[in-house]
Amino acid sequence: MAHTHGPTEVRFCVYCGDKLSRRRIEGRERKVCAGCGRIHYREAKVAVATAVVRGRQLLLVKRRHPPEKGKWGLPGGYLDAGEDPERAAARETLEETGLVVECCELLDVLFNPGPDGADVSIVYRAVASAATPVAADDAEEARFFAIDALPELAFQSTRRAVAALRERSNP
């Protein structure tokens, strides 16, 4: 018999506790409660990030953990339930770099296909004070790089956000 549930996959209805089964609904395979008939939709994971610029430099953090350990990315992380995305981006930047930033514009919203990571990433352009970044949380290192001389970047979404920054704002 094939294993049909992942380790964190919901198997019981959160409303009535009955078992969920799979049915084709709205053109997709969905989980439906055998007891109350509710459709259980998979919720998208949303991440936020900041492209923090200072003159012609961009703030990057070196990833301490997999995936893409040792590569550089924008400060960011997952959005908590009920959290404002712009505030979450500023919070993640503070947690990873010690810098207080002000998000000044929405840079891009990116779709990330695949089974891991966020499904959607919201990227803000931000400005930082003259303070020096200090790596913390899951960042191994945090520093500014010349926008035209960046190290190896983690994730396709990071590369796309950097391209959008270069195109749009010419920091």
Contact 11, 125 (CB under 8 A): no
Statement to judge: residues 29 and 17 lie in one domain: yes
Q: What is the pLDDT of residue 105?
A: 93
Statement to judge: residues 140 and 62 lie in one domain: yes
The CA dihedral of 127, 105, 108, 54, to the nearest 10 degrees, is: -20
User: pLDDT by residue (tens digit) across 133-152?
Assistant: 998 888 899 999 999 999 99
Residue 120 has pLDDT above 80, yes or no: yes
Distance (Å, whole) CA 112 – CA 24: 24
User: pLDDT by residue (tens digit) across 44-73?
Assistant: 889 999 999 998 899 999 999 888 999 999
- Could you give the residue numbers annotated as active site? 141
Statement to judge: residues 2 and 77 lie in one domain: no
Statement to judge: residues 23 and 68 lie in one domain: no
Q: Percentage of the chain surpassing pLDDT 90?
A: 64
Q: What is the pTM of this model?
A: 0.79
Domain that holds residue 13: 1-42
Mean pLDDT across the stretch 113-133? 82
Number of structural domains (the chain) is 2
Q: Which CATH number belongs to the domain containing residue 142 in this structure? A: 3.90.79.10
Statement to judge: residues 131 and 54 lie in one domain: yes
For strands 120-128 and 46-54, give the pairing: parallel
User: pLDDT by residue (tens digit) across 10-45?
Assistant: 899 999 999 999 999 888 899 999 999 999 887 788
Q: Where are the alpha helices (DSSP H) in 7-128?
A: 85-97
Residue 131 has pLDDT above 90, yes or no: no
Statement to judge: residues 165 and 91 lie in one domain: yes
Statement to judge: residues 1 and 75 lie in one domain: no
Residue 79 has pLDDT above 60, yes or no: yes
Distance (Å, whole) CA 58 – CA 124: 13
Closest CA to 61 of 70, 72, 69, 50: 72
Q: What is the pLDDT of residue 115?
A: 61
Q: What is the pLDDT of residue 118?
A: 60
